[in-house]
Structure 1
């Protein structure tokens, strides 16, 4: 593990300026880029610590506030420890921010982030050219990771999603419908206690990925709850989180 430098940055997008967190090894050298999509609670100290840990493994990690249209992070006031069962108003307060993010807007933002990473001297092959990028996402961010891999297949070499929400639905713009465009290798770590991603939807995603010829691995983490990687929430699971780190780093180390 290496020392890490973390800074706040701003990403110009077609719809405004997104605030973001950038973490990278503090060695002056370029490293493979990873675009890190937040969960619904957003850019906060815990996500910064996750980005720092990933950067310490040798990556330049960008974590955009995907709710920037609604305001800079944090877009709602959050307690140090988040327990939605005791504080349901937290989830309710995030509704307006979530509704500002359409699939089309999210993919405009993803392109802006990929462009920013490609232009950065901190990323491998930047600024002369865009090297392969890894993407990881959590909760709603897992869907954004899947959608980014399908929208920009020429730019994404690997994508991972953990305790993903609504990855496969009956909607005409469901993320899983992009499977036949994906060229990246994918990994999904599903929670087996997750109302946003029940077994039948996991199967639906699996069928789409298989039919699309996508290189992928999909695992259900026994005993894990939706949000299991988030140590500042009541859904956290230490064993499942450790498993997630092993799977994520294995994927990135092999593909970037």
Structure 2
């Protein structure tokens, strides 16, 4: 891994300015672009470290604050170590903001993020990779469907919900996707039950999407998030191996 430059940047959107974090190798070269879509807890130090880890393998990584309409990060006060069982009020604060991220707002925001990456001198021309965590996995799938000409690879980790009974359910949008997809579901996750996973896989197969789905048995929802009680170091390392392999296959030339 190489040394990384990381800094705060502002990305202008149609609704304001999304405060963001960008990381890229400290080698003076341009690299493939990657968009990281946050989990429900939002932009914070542990996610910046995740972006740094990806960047150290040769990528320019943009990590926006998806809740920017409510202020700059941290939008809500978070402890250094998040144990939702002990702090249920955190969910009460983030759920309304999650629900506000409609497909219409997502299309507008992601369009701005992709334009920012395309204009960055640290990013080579071409399609980008997207990775999402928890709610971000859902948004990553929708992003691939909305921008098939801009996205080459998508990964989703302990994501959900990917199958719902609403018209904007991610599993109903797969026909537009041209990217390769990888999903790593948590074995202990009520957001994506075995039934949900089977329905999502069936929809992926029917759409003819290049994909691979795995279940990390024993891992909890949130297993990649190092600052939470759900963190699973072994599953987290596996996540990085699969994510970087996916990006290397699709973004390297």
Q: TM-score, normalised by structure 1?
A: 0.96
Structure 1 residue 100: Cα displacement: 2.8
1:225: which partner in 2? 220
- Long gaps (5+) in structure 1: 126-130
* Alignment pair present for 1:215 and 2:199: no
**CA–CA distance in structure 1, aligned partners of residues 24 and 189 of structure 2:** 32
SS in 2 for 1:39: coil
- Long gaps (5+) in structure 2: none
SS in 2 for 1:49: helix
* Alignment pair present for 1:122 and 2:122: yes
CA RMSD of aligned residues (A): 0.8
**CA–CA distance in structure 1, aligned partners of residues 144 and 166 of structure 2:** 19
2:31: which partner in 1? 31
Deviations 1:25-48 (A, max 9, x none): 011110000000000001000000
**CA–CA distance in structure 2, aligned partners of residues 179 and 39 of structure 1:** 21
**CA–CA distance in structure 2, aligned partners of residues 96 and 76 of structure 1:** 12
Structure 1 residue 192: Cα displacement: 1.1
Q: TM-score, normalised by structure 2?
A: 0.98
Structure 1 residue 119: Cα displacement: 0.7
Deviations 1:200-223 (A, max 9, x none): 111111111100000000000000
**CA–CA distance in structure 2, aligned partners of residues 101 and 66 of structure 1:** 8
1:192 aligns with one of 187, 191, 199: 187
Deviations 1:85-109 (A, max 9, x none): 0110111111332233212101210
Deviations 1:131-180 (A, max 9, x none): 11000000000011100011100110000000001011111111111111
**CA–CA distance in structure 2, aligned partners of residues 101 and 181 of structure 1:** 20
SS in 1 for 2:173: helix
**CA–CA distance in structure 2, aligned partners of residues 65 and 20 of structure 1:** 6
**CA–CA distance in structure 2, aligned partners of residues 95 and 56 of structure 1:** 32
Q: Greater CA deviation, 29-38 or 101-110?
A: 101-110
2:150 aligns with one of 133, 155, 158: 155
1:174: which partner in 2? 169
Residue-pair matches, total: 251
1:248: which partner in 2? 243
Q: Greater CA deviation, 98-107 or 173-182?
A: 98-107
Deviations 1:51-84 (A, max 9, x none): 0000000000000001111111111000000000
1:128: which partner in 2? none
**CA–CA distance in structure 2, aligned partners of residues 235 and 179 of structure 1:** 29
Structure 1 residue 6: Cα displacement: 0.3
2:130: which partner in 1? 135
SS in 1 for 2:51: helix
